[in-house]
Structure 1
Amino acid sequence: MSPSFLTAPLLLAGTLVAAPAMASSCADLSQLDLFGVEISNAEAQPAQTLPPDPMSAMTGSSPRPVEVGAHCLVEGKIDDREGVNGRYGIRFQMRLPDQWNGRFLFQGGGGMDGFIAPAIGSIPSTGSTATPALSRGYAVVSMDGGHNGQGGDFAEDQQARLDLAYVAIGKVTDTAKVLIQARYEKAPEHSFFMGCSNGGREAMMAAQRFPTEFDGIVAGNPGFHLSRASLTQAWDVQTLMSVAPNGDLSQALTQSDLDSVSSEILAQCDAKDGLEDGIVAGQCDFDPEALRGKLADNKLDALLTVMNGPKGKNGEALYSDWPWDPGINSAGWRAWKLGSEQRPAMNLSIGPASLTKLFMTPPQESIPEPLDFDALARNVSSVGGYFDADEVFLSTFAHQGGKLVIFQGLADPVFSANDIARWYTEASAITPDTARLFMVPGMTHCGGGNATFENFDPLTLLENWKETGEAPQMMPARAPSMPEREMPLCAYPTYAEYQGGEVNNASSFACVEP
């Protein structure tokens, strides 16, 4: 061991480590004596252009090259072990900039994890052009959630389930903070978490299970109720297959069908925010029965069954209903619910493994037939009890000054905006100045959609909230398809109403109560 390190033991939340002094070089970090942690690489990196994140489709990060300054790249593995069906451990990557701004950001994953995305800290909305956290001077860490590979076989291992659920967050956080202490000889002034999809669930879990570790969270389109959303995917497939010609799910609702639905939503709701522009920013009390005659009755009935959400035999809701947004005819909505001739629906390619392997106990090879959704709901409740980030009691997080920014696409086809709205309402009643929710009209899952204002910067919003103590009432946003136009995304339940003037200016809108 290098003589530049001390060896007094330090017990953090999940890892016993040797408390180091300042590392004289990046390479010295490879000599850290951390219990249960293997550092495989610690290498100084010059200022460079990092290539687009190859995992952006899973994490929602912007698929663009990133300019970064000189930094220290550290890679390693925590708790390497032989598991039930293979080798396990929590792999991580960390980048520590030479010009550090004193802050730490944990970058969430996506899907069922199983990969390490580059630790860059890009805003997890595919249309965002905001500066990534690493380029701002943050020390950034990413991880694989405790298993390697994106299939569901890892869920045969009890500890691998727990690691993905929440345990890995604590262990990687401990390791990252030790690396920060060693590199800079001080702890981070602020510790943030940011992610979308399952990364958004991980972000909410950071606030719920590790309330003293983080003081700022950005959660995008969070799969916080993932066990029930997984069940819902099976509900949607069963429902839509009942009207699929020749068993072709992609044609259960044609593009023409969805265009008709989108047009009717606009006809009923577009003007309610004061401006007919293809965007439904305000409340939409949509009457789907107006679609009778425009869609075949069996197709409309199937769509209503999907949009009303899964129900038990006695009619009780097993997940959530969905808002009617004109983004229903976008490629992102189709990709999850219906798929195409070239690519099967993600509800078919990802959904079954999530439901049967991760959430059913014991794991199953296929969904039991015939489908009994009451039984499925009872089965997934066991894993959902520790996997879902649906706790609303955030008193410690709030007491320590923690702030949570959530953004959610109204046309998200996999996690319902209505579900996160209910969670937010309940949580805010307990700790009213801790979280802010921003609904994004037209946006599907972690970006994409029709004329959607997905180019926004929730990290700067969070930074300003922490620095000023003033809760944000709106978040400026732009639509990539309309580069000259800016519109505010308003803190829920308010929405952006056009007040008159130049439509491209955000100042022409006001956040109003519904």
Structure 2
Amino acid sequence: MAYGISSCQQLATSLSALPGISVLNTTHITNGTPIALPDLVPSCANAASYNLATATTDMCRVIVNVSSSASSINRIEAWLPDKWNGRFLATGNGGTGGCIDYGNLQNGASFGFATFGTNGGHDGQSGYDFFLNKPENINDFGYRAIHVEAETGKQVIEKYYGRKADYNYYSGCSTGGRQGFEEAILYPEDFDGILIGAVAVDWLRIVASKGLLARRLGWPNLESPSYVSAAQWAAIVAAQVALLDPLDGVKDGIIDNPTLHNFDPSILACGTGVLNSSVCLTAAQVNTVREIYQPLANTSGHIVYPSFEVGVPTGVFSANTAVVNGTTIPKLNYGLVDDFWRGAVYNDTSFSVFNFTPKDMDFATNLNPGGINIAGGISHDVSAYHKRGGKLLAYHGRADPTVMSSLASRTFQKTAETLNLTTKEMHEFYRLFYVPGMGHCGGGNGQWAIGQPQVDRATGAQFNNSQHNILLAMVEWVENERAPVTLIGTKYVNDTVYLEKKKKKKKKKKKKKKKKKKKKKKKKKKKKKKKTKFAEEVRPQRGHLASDSTTAQESGIPMQHSDTMKIDIQIFSIKTRKSVEEEEEEEEEEKSLESVVRTIRCAFGRQHTNR
């Protein structure tokens, strides 16, 4: 059957006959045609910040409203490629939802998936009005929106293509990761394969932690003697990376596993000669930093959230100011705390995050608005999903500032305990991959591009194989029983697709030895370099599959699991070539860092502990 303009136009009529569905638009778009987003809410700009200038395949674009209750509506968008691969792909949200993930839509449709996105039951992800006095909107965001998307998607596919999809998949990161894990618990029949990144289970404590860490800093009292500025935090994190990076055997600006290291901030105090006078820490600030790297406890004194991890950027809790009329005022950078507690937890516009305490965290977790903490907070029971043969494929960046990477292994371990399964048995349906140096869902200094939509699909950046692309690895696992053992991550120069020629910066002459060494490097690079290259192997980097034992999971490669299953693999084994100009820039950055972090290697060596 051929799909195109006429079949796309007819779809509006057939969908209108379905109960609870209101068709807003059906448009056939040809490859290369500009894609318009006229109804995009301003706060959703980031969700559509990928290169969506043109379509990457011929497709039918469908937008519908679906009633999820008597008082709530979900907006769902579908990109239905003419050259359909027989698969359904649903996608999740980020933050507090409210935005269709267009990057994921484009990514899936480009590979031939009938791909769907949802706004999660409301429009926009900034503010609290969409939750205030709207319990059904909270339910959509908490547990229901993806199930509504799954049911709607299957109906749309059958109406358009004349048959059901051969396989049903889901992809989401952060809040989308939580939504996917929740699907496995509550609606195990919805998907055959669930791809989840930075799984934000125990979502309420994840969000609350940003407010509690800001308060530990002394915020909103910016004049407090114990307050640590954003500039100081940048120096602290740079020092941690400079110290701990070489311990994995490769100096690349990446701490492979930050959970292996303790940190004593006293070595960064003024007078130690480690940091310069503009960023060194006073005694009061040393205590503040020490507090930041301690786990969070509830009002009963029980630890409920892991400590912030070393070498990870701190902006989620430390960049908490704004300039209004030339005056710097305190403003929480992580707005989710204020918005969600005001709109969904307390349903009270007078709530102020300025006085946020563990009591607020505990109140929210006990209330559990919209069942948002079912996944991971209350339940890890994916037994029904396991029994029906579903696959869970998870990934997490080791430099994630939003969702601590240790939570991923904790989720894996608690799931294993709930199902009473060994690591070997868990790996038959649930696998977790860590990406050293990757930030939240993507980005960072590591080889973070593993097939997420954050890589610009429109310019051909994605690899079309299961070794480099985690979505395709999921397909291989579900359809051919070939479980992923290794994944190859890619780092693009300047996080763009193609290497760009830069004008070489003129530098002063250095010692003859350094000059000769650099000339040799340049000659070697020039021989290999081509005009249009976007990814090349340079050297291996370690990674690993998670186990159900914290000790084993943190032991590196090779590692011995608690059930004697031995995994001796390299998960992320490729780095891209760096241009000569970029290497020169890095040398300058290192030289600049040395002016801030002078004697730190020696000093920190005595403080470092391997657990």
**TM-score, normalized by the shorter chain, greater than 0.5:** yes
Give the corresponding residue for 1:10: none
> How many Å separate the matches in 2 of 1:357 and 1:347?
18
Looking at structure 1, the residues matched to 77 and 113 of structure 2 have their Cα atoms a distance apart, in angstroms, of 14
Q: Of the candidates 271, 275, 298, which is equivalent to residue 284 of structure 2?
A: 298
Please name the residue that 2:8 is paired with: 26
Question: In the alignment, is residue 397 of structure 1 matched against residue 451 of structure 2?
Answer: no
Query: Which of 286, 292, 299 is matched with 2:262 structurally?
Result: 286
Moved more, 369-378 or 269-278: 369-378
Kindly tell me: are residues 401 and 103 of structure 1, through their superposed partners in 2, closer, same or farther at Cα, counting changes over 3 Å? same
RMSD over aligned CA atoms reads 3.5
- Are 1:206 and 2:200 an aligned pair? no
Change (3 A) 1:378 1:99: same
Secondary structure (helix, strand or coil) at the match of 1:475 reads coil
- For 1:413 and 1:505, the matched residues in 2 are separated by 22
Cα distance between partner residues in 1 of 2:358 and 2:253: 37
1:145 & 1:499 partners in 2: Cα distance? Answer: 38
Offset of residue 247 of structure 1 = 7.3
Inter-CA distance 68–242: structure 2 relative to 1 (3 Å threshold): closer
8 A contact 1:95–1:119 mirrored in 2: no
1:311 Cα deviation from its structure 2 partner:
2.0
Once the two structures are superposed, residues 51-71 of structure 1 have per-residue CA deviations (whole angstroms, 9 ceiling, x without a partner) of 699888755985565652211
* Per-residue deviation, 1:192: 0.9
Per the alignment, do residues 447 and 169 of structure 1 end up closer, same or farther by CA in structure 2, a change over 3 Å counting? Answer: same
Distance 1:257 1:167, change over 3 A: closer
Matched, 1:410 2:398: yes
CA distance in 2, matches of 1:281, 1:66: 37
Is 1:491 matched up with 2:545?
A: yes
Question: For residue 136 of structure 1, what is the aligned residue in structure 2?
Answer: 111
Give yes or no for the alignment of 1:365 onto 2:360. Answer: no
Please tell me whether Structure 1 or Structure 2 has the larger radius of gyration of its CA atoms: 2
Please show how residues 46-65 of structure 1 align to structure 2 within 5 Å. Answer: 46-48=30-32, 58-59=46-47, 62=50
1:435 to 424, 430, 436: 430
Between the aligned partners of 2:356 and 2:204, the Cα distance in structure 1 is: 16
Which consecutive residues of structure 2, in runs of 5 or more, have no partner in the other structure?
270-274, 276-280, 325-329, 452-469, 495-534, 547-552, 559-567, 577-610
Indicate conservation of the 8 Å contact 1:281/1:496, yes or no.
Answer: no
2:602 — aligned with what?
none
- How far apart are 1:246 and its partner, in Å? 3.3
Question: Shift of the alpha carbon at 1:478?
Answer: 1.6
Q: 1:480 to 1:57 in 2, by over 3 A?
A: farther
- What pairs with 1:75-474 in structure 2 (closer than 5 Å)? 75-79=63-67, 83=71, 88-118=72-102, 120-121=104-105, 132-150=107-125, 151-155=127-131, 156-242=133-219, 245-246=222-223, 252-267=228-243, 269-282=244-257, 284-289=260-265, 291-293=267-269, 294=275, 295-324=281-310, 326-328=311-313, 333-334=314-315, 337-339=318-320, 347-358=333-344, 360-367=345-352, 371-374=356-359, 376-383=361-368, 386-388=371-373, 389-390=375-376, 391-429=379-417, 430=419, 432=426, 433-449=428-444, 451-457=445-451, 458-474=470-486
Q: 1:185 to 1:39 in 2, by over 3 A?
A: same
User: CA-to-partner distance for each residue in 1:133-171, whole Å, 9 max, x for gaps?
Assistant: 111100011111111233222222111111111212222
Aligned match of 1:18 = none
Could you tell me whether the CA contact under 8 Å between 2:208 and 2:361 is conserved in 1?
yes
CA contact (8 A) 2:449 2:489 kept: yes
Deviation of 1:224 after TM superposition, in Å, equals 1.8
TM-score by length of 1: 0.79
Letter in 1 for 2:359: D
User: Is the partner of 1:280 in helix, strand or coil?
Assistant: coil
Question: Given that residues 409 and 444 in structure 1 are in contact (C-alpha distance below 8 angstroms), is that contact kept between their aligned partners in structure 2?
Answer: yes
Structure with the higher strand share, 1 or 2: 1
Q: Distance in 1 between matches of 2:163 and 2:81?
A: 14
Residue type of the alignment partner of 1:490: H
Secondary structure of the residue aligned to 2:211 is helix
- Check conservation: 2:171, 2:194, Cα contact below 8 A: yes
| 1:372 Cα deviation after fit | 4.2
Instruction: Give distance in 2, aligned partners of 1:400 and 1:378.
Output: 36
Question: Using the alignment, how far apart are the partners of 1:60 and 1:495 within structure 2?
Answer: 37
Q: Does the C-alpha gap of structure 1 residues 261 and 135 become closer, same or farther in structure 2, counting only changes over 3 Å?
A: closer
Q: Residues 242 and 361 (structure 1 numbering): CA distance in 2 closer, same or farther, change over 3 Å? A: closer
Tell me, in whole angstroms, the C-alpha distance in 2 between the residues paired with 1:218 and 1:491. Answer: 15
Structure 2 CA distance for aligned equivalents of residues 246 and 505 of structure 1? 44
CA contact (8 A) 1:152 1:353 kept: yes
Say how many residue pairs are matched.
462
Once the two structures are superposed, residues 98-133 of structure 1 have per-residue CA deviations (whole angstroms, 9 ceiling, x without a partner) of 1100001111121212233437535xxxxxxxxx21
- What is the deviation of 1:320? 2.5
> Relative to 1, partners in 2 of residues 1:245 and 1:174: Cα closer, same or farther, differing over 3 Å?
closer
Cα 1:485–1:104 shift into 2, 3 Å: same
Structure 1 residues 379, 242: closer, same or farther in 2, change over 3 A? Answer: closer
SS at match of 2:297: coil
User: Counterpart amino acid of 2:217?
Assistant: L
Report percent identity of matched pairs. 23
